[in-house]
Chains A and B, each alone.
Chain A
Amino acid sequence: MQSLLDPVVLNAISGLDLVAATVVDGFIAGLHRSADFGFSQEFAEYRAYAPGDDLRHVDWNVYARSDRAYIKRFHGETNSQLMLLVDASSSMGFASHAVSKLAYVRFIAAALAYMATRRQRDATGLLVFGDTVRDFVPPASRQGHLQRVLAALVAAQPQANTSYAAPLLHLQSFLRRRGMVVVLSDFYAPPADIIRAVAPLRVHGNEVVLFQVLDPEELRPRVDGSSMLIDLETGAELEVSEDYVQGRYRERIDAHVAALRLEARRSGIGYQLMQTDQPLDQALMQYLRLRTGRD
């Protein structure tokens, strides 16, 4: 079952919903054999009905006895909203093997959306951005909403540069409920700037987690002799030598990743580095940790 989380295997599946179902079901099946995580809907509390609450969650038995409407709440329903921010800039189109970074992000986002919607009954939203907001699906948990999210993911294509400030500012106006914000990007920007842009999402008690998706070639590039590199976003050209790439560049990319992780931790933001050749369970595990408050 673990093989179903292999990105290469998933890449061969055409339907993103099937990918999500395959990933999550496989992942959950693995969790049931684990002692670390329980996954059930245990009763937590009653809460007075407030206008806007879903009437399906009203405990009608209590209402009949007390003539008061209460909402029955369960564990796992405390974070009721998942917002997925997907970077679809040009750099996300990079791929050194069959799975590009954007494809990998689609898998993660689809799996998280599927898990949140189908398993946790959380409202799930999607924001696709580059240098501007290119697509936005407001958070919702209605039936069929998952398909809308997945369709937006499928429609996302790598183009334009990356800008975190404008899209995240746009998102802040929609975050009225406490929830989880997952930012999926390669984060090619100064870590301080990234955190400065992401930190405001933590208003209303939102949990923010950064999934830095990188291709293995970006972490450990292979260059024979000297190579001419072209920046996917700016088009700039640069000739680099093999020795530089294997030495100085690795130091700098490692430092960049470490700095981003450190800055995120300092700001109370979750961080997870994902490589496009790795299984997706790390992303789901991270999601569950945050959701259960174990992180």
Chain B
Amino acid sequence: MGWLAPGFLLGALTIAVPVWLHLLKRSASRPRQFSSLMLFEPQQRSTTRRRRIDHWLLLLLRVAVLLLIAVAFAEPYVRGHLPGVAPEKLLVLAVDDSFSMRAGTRLEDARRAALAVVAAKPRDTRAQVVALGSQAVVLTEQLQDAAALASAVRHVAATDGRGSLVLLAGLARTLAAGTHMPIELHLFSDMQATELPPDFSELRLPAGVTLVLHRVGAAATPNWTVETVAAPAQVWDPAKTRIIATVAGFGTPEATRSVVLLINGRPSGQQVIKVPPSGRASVVFAGPDIPYGLVRGTVQIDSADALSADDRYDFVIERSERVHGLFVHQGSDQATGLYFHSALQSAADAAVVLDEVTTEQLRNRDLSSYAFVVLSDLANLSPAVEARLTDWVNSGGRLLISAGTAAAQQQRIPVFDARIIGSHDYTRDEIRFAAVAAVDEAYAPAGTLAGWQGIRFFYVTRVEAPAAQTGLRLADQSPLLLEKPLGKGRVLLFTSGFDRLTTDLPLHPQFVAFVDRLANYLSGRTLRSSALSVGDAVDLRPDPAVRGSADVLAPDGSHPLDLKQAQQVRTWPLPAAGFYTLTLADSRHDLVAANISRLESDLTPASDDKLKLWQAASQAPQAVPAGTASAPPPAAVAAEESTHNLWWYAMCLLLVAVVTESVVSSRYLNTLRESS
């Protein structure tokens, strides 16, 4: 026996109050000596004796009332079954509504099995229905009403979500934490092997939860699917574009499949491939005809299996013109531009045409046609050129300044307007170089810390720019990449250089990725994926500072966001497969494709051994044969050790004590009245 809130037991100290009052009352009637009690009637003696008994009875009852109040609040509990009392429990019916349940009659079988459990449920046992897909959706409260529970079960519909039994374990832990009674957790699912996590510790159920598995569906169902499509998200030259589709078969024999590429719904290519038994085959569509703008692409196969929705794979390609950038360097420095230009050309999807000019040539260059400008080294930048650059940035241009070694001779960084407080030549230090130590991974050009490992910086310019955002910082806390807004544009400062004198960055692959990120960021192009999965969230407000209304046009033509969500929601999960047209908060339009997770396409069931292991891990000894639905055996129920809260019994006793106290005290008062 234990106490859930033992602190309330301190309330038992209040029994001192009635004890003190009774003793005080008794002391008030202090005994007196009297000559003889001969003349006092025997009836009076018995009445008095009874009244004294009543005194003690009243005291005991009042003490009992206070004790029971304290006990009830302290919530006593016992482990195990109360003798003669059927164990109270909560039934949780989790019906798998993931995509794989669309196969055959799996969902119907699951609903039928769940309805059978509801029908067999004792009348006073509470139950709760949960739909388990990409998220656990609680469909009912904890109800005793079998009709309401059955109605909820009948309304479970299959989704495009990916099922995960980890979610079920999390749900069980949540329910166990909020419910002080044993939980009998019934799972109605096809028990896909892909729904099990590799680590069973993630599936461990809390104490007091008994897992009952109801497997539905055939042991193995063949299924073909377009597993993946590798397509560039952005293209500027369709002739160089390659779209690679992989067709996979799960539990399938060798077969020939026809693969069709659809661009904006119209066939753009078709190929026939031979898919080996339970294997994969790839097909390449080269140089498809892709129009400008956001394009809906689909790779589709012909298959007549149980799951038709995974026979297609949607993706989005954006075709646009290349943007132009301007790289400004000193006349004597030809290498830096070469490095930067080569890195841009090496980027897989770089869509930037980089022009190179010297500082002197910048005076006569029209900047309006450039998406961004890179200033490498700052030796001779005339005030007129700085003024032009500043005006251009204020009007929306984006400028990257590489300080290099020449900045040490200046007092300030032009345009960026930061005071130069010195430079640091790390080659003169003992360690000879500095490495990146801090990365703001939320800052797009910065990348990740892992990518910067092994890159050495030998020379940096130190500036005083308290208002600037720092994307990269060296080990001695020197800022490496800074940014500050200027008018409608932005200015970035790289305090080292893009040459081999100040850093060995150009010698590392990270240089290509860094330059690509910089170019995309400076040109205002956002990195986007060609395809997402159902359940992935799209960002409707890339710039949180922009307050505007967002909108989503779902594949079925509906607008799932209400007005409030349109004003407030930042991210929104994609609920089903298909193309979604997004209107972002900054009024830009986007198109995303959501596909069903191909983990759902593999209908191979989890092995019985794994399920038994899961049940063993959840400390539920009973095993249910595959393909059958069964309730836990009585022996298992009897062996189950559950926790029983006794506060209800304490409250019942309290009620009895209060009523008895009222009766006794009333009788005591009547006795006094009669005697008077």
A239 contacts across to B, CB distance below 8 A: 29, 48, 51-52
| A248:B41 contact, CB within 8 angstroms | yes
| A232:B34 contact, CB within 8 angstroms | yes
A247, closest chain B residue (CB): B676
Question: Is A188 interfacial (CB 8 A cutoff)?
Answer: yes
| B675:A237 contact, CB within 8 angstroms | no
| B29:A237 contact, CB within 8 angstroms | no
| A229:B32 contact, CB within 8 angstroms | yes
Question: Is B39 interfacial (CB 8 A cutoff)?
Answer: yes
Interface members, chain B 40-79 (any A CB < 8 Å): 40-41, 44-45, 48, 51-52
Known A239-B29, A239-B48, A241-B672; judge A91-B36 contact (CB<8 A).
yes
A-B contact count, CB below 8 Å? 84
| A249:B51 contact, CB within 8 angstroms | no
What is the bound-complex CA distance between A91 and B39, given in angstroms?
13
A248 contacts across to B, CB distance below 8 A: 41, 44
What DSSP secondary structure best describes chain A's contact surface?
mixed
A251 CB to closest chain B CB (Å) equals 10
Interface members, chain B 62-115 (any A CB < 8 Å): none
| A232:B33 contact, CB within 8 angstroms | yes
| A229:B29 contact, CB within 8 angstroms | no
What is the bound-complex CA distance between A241 and B52, given in angstroms?
12
| A228:B32 contact, CB within 8 angstroms | yes
B33 contacts across to A, CB distance below 8 A: 94, 229-230, 232
Interface members, chain A 66-94 (any B CB < 8 Å): 91-92, 94
B32 contacts across to A, CB distance below 8 A: 227-230
| A188:B52 contact, CB within 8 angstroms | no
Interface members, chain A 231-248 (any B CB < 8 Å): 231-234, 236-244, 248
What is the bound-complex CA distance between A38 and B251, given in angstroms?
147
A42 CB to closest chain B CB (Å) equals 44
B289 CB to closest chain A CB (Å) equals 111
| B38:A188 contact, CB within 8 angstroms | yes
Interface members, chain A 189-244 (any B CB < 8 Å): 189, 215, 218, 221, 225-234, 236-244
Known A238-B37, A249-B40, A253-B39; judge A227-B676 contact (CB<8 A).
no
B58 CB to closest chain A CB (Å) equals 14
Question: Is A17 interfacial (CB 8 A cutoff)?
Answer: no
Known A238-B45, A239-B48, A239-B51; judge A231-B30 contact (CB<8 A).
no
B39 contacts across to A, CB distance below 8 A: 188, 249, 252-253, 256
Question: Is A186 interfacial (CB 8 A cutoff)?
Answer: yes
**Chain A 35-51 per-residue mask, 1 if CB under 8 angstroms from chain B, else 0:** 00000000000000000
What is the bound-complex CA distance between A228 and B30, given in angstroms?
6
A76 CB to closest chain B CB (Å) equals 37
Partner of A238, one of B28, B35, B40, B676: B40
| A225:B34 contact, CB within 8 angstroms | no
Question: Is B265 interfacial (CB 8 A cutoff)?
Answer: no
B39, closest chain A residue (CB): A252
What is the bound-complex CA distance between A188 and B39, given in angstroms?
9
A89 CB to closest chain B CB (Å) equals 9
Question: Is B31 interfacial (CB 8 A cutoff)?
Answer: yes
**Chain B 599-625 per-residue mask, 1 if CB under 8 angstroms from chain A, else 0:** 000000000000000000000000000
What is the bound-complex CA distance between A186 and B35, given in angstroms?
9
| B30:A241 contact, CB within 8 angstroms | no
B29 contacts across to A, CB distance below 8 A: 225-228, 239
What is the bound-complex CA distance between A249 and B48, given in angstroms?
15
Partner of A94, one of B34, B672, B676: B34
A92 contacts across to B, CB distance below 8 A: 35
| A240:B40 contact, CB within 8 angstroms | yes
B518 CB to closest chain A CB (Å) equals 98
| B44:A240 contact, CB within 8 angstroms | yes
Partner of B48, one of A225, A232, A240, A253: A240
A233 CB to closest chain B CB (Å) equals 6
| A229:B31 contact, CB within 8 angstroms | yes
A94, closest chain B residue (CB): B35
B399 CB to closest chain A CB (Å) equals 100
What is the bound-complex CA distance between A252 and B32, given in angstroms?
20
Partner of B676, one of A186, A189, A232, A241: A241
A231 contacts across to B, CB distance below 8 A: 34-37
| B35:A232 contact, CB within 8 angstroms | yes
B37 contacts across to A, CB distance below 8 A: 229, 231, 234, 236, 238
B48, closest chain A residue (CB): A239
Question: Of residues B34, B48, B51, B52, which shows the largest number of chain A Cβ atoms within 10 Å of its Cβ?
Answer: B34
B35 contacts across to A, CB distance below 8 A: 91-92, 94, 101, 186, 188, 215, 218, 231-233
Known A240-B44, A243-B676, A248-B41; judge A232-B36 contact (CB<8 A).
yes
B676, closest chain A residue (CB): A243
A226 contacts across to B, CB distance below 8 A: 29, 51, 672
B36, closest chain A residue (CB): A188
What is the bound-complex CA distance between A64 and B31, given in angstroms?
73
What is the bound-complex CA distance between A20 and B33, given in angstroms?
30
B40 contacts across to A, CB distance below 8 A: 229, 238, 240, 249, 252
A221, closest chain B residue (CB): B34
**Chain B 334-353 per-residue mask, 1 if CB under 8 angstroms from chain A, else 0:** 00000000000000000000
A231, closest chain B residue (CB): B37
Question: Of residues B35, B48, B675, B676, which shows the largest number of chain A Cβ atoms within 10 Å of its Cβ?
Answer: B35
What is the bound-complex CA distance between A168 and B39, given in angstroms?
24
B23 CB to closest chain A CB (Å) equals 14
Known A225-B28, A239-B52, A249-B39; judge A244-B34 contact (CB<8 A).
no
Question: Of residues A101, A189, A215, A239, which shows the largest number of chain B Cβ atoms within 10 Å of its Cβ?
Answer: A239
| A230:B31 contact, CB within 8 angstroms | yes
Known A239-B51, A253-B39; judge A244-B44 contact (CB<8 A).
yes
A74 CB to closest chain B CB (Å) equals 42
What is the bound-complex CA distance between A230 and B52, given in angstroms?
15
**Chain B 19-32 per-residue mask, 1 if CB under 8 angstroms from chain A, else 0:** 00000000011111
B676 contacts across to A, CB distance below 8 A: 241-244
What is the bound-complex CA distance between A288 and B52, given in angstroms?
51
| A230:B34 contact, CB within 8 angstroms | yes
A253 contacts across to B, CB distance below 8 A: 39
B30, closest chain A residue (CB): A228
B38 contacts across to A, CB distance below 8 A: 188-189
B55, closest chain A residue (CB): A239
B52 contacts across to A, CB distance below 8 A: 239
Question: Of residues A188, A218, A240, which shows the largest number of chain B Cβ atoms within 10 Å of its Cβ?
Answer: A240
A228 contacts across to B, CB distance below 8 A: 29-32
B125 CB to closest chain A CB (Å) equals 55
A243 contacts across to B, CB distance below 8 A: 675-676
**Chain A 169-197 per-residue mask, 1 if CB under 8 angstroms from chain B, else 0:** 00000000000000000101100000000
A200 CB to closest chain B CB (Å) equals 23
B565 CB to closest chain A CB (Å) equals 75
A233 contacts across to B, CB distance below 8 A: 35-36
B233 CB to closest chain A CB (Å) equals 97
What is the bound-complex CA distance between A83 and B672, given in angstroms?
49
A101 contacts across to B, CB distance below 8 A: 35
A128 CB to closest chain B CB (Å) equals 18
A215 contacts across to B, CB distance below 8 A: 35
A244 contacts across to B, CB distance below 8 A: 44, 675-676
What is the bound-complex CA distance between A215 and B36, given in angstroms?
12
B51, closest chain A residue (CB): A239
- For the complex of A and B, 5 pairs with smallest distance between CB atoms: A243-B676, A188-B36, A228-B31, A91-B35, A239-B48
Binding site for A on B (CB under 8 A): 28-41, 44-45, 48, 51-52, 672, 675-676
Chosen A-B contacts, 12 in total, with CB atoms closer than 8 Å, are A94-B34, A101-B35, A221-B34, A228-B31, A229-B34, A229-B37, A234-B37, A237-B31, A240-B48, A241-B672, A242-B676, A244-B676
Known A218-B34, A227-B32, A229-B40; further 11 A-B contacts with Cβ < 8 A: A226-B29, A228-B30, A229-B32, A231-B34, A231-B37, A232-B35, A232-B36, A238-B37, A241-B672, A249-B39, A252-B39
Binding site for B on A (CB under 8 A): 91-92, 94, 101, 186, 188-189, 215, 218, 221, 225-234, 236-244, 248-249, 252-253, 256
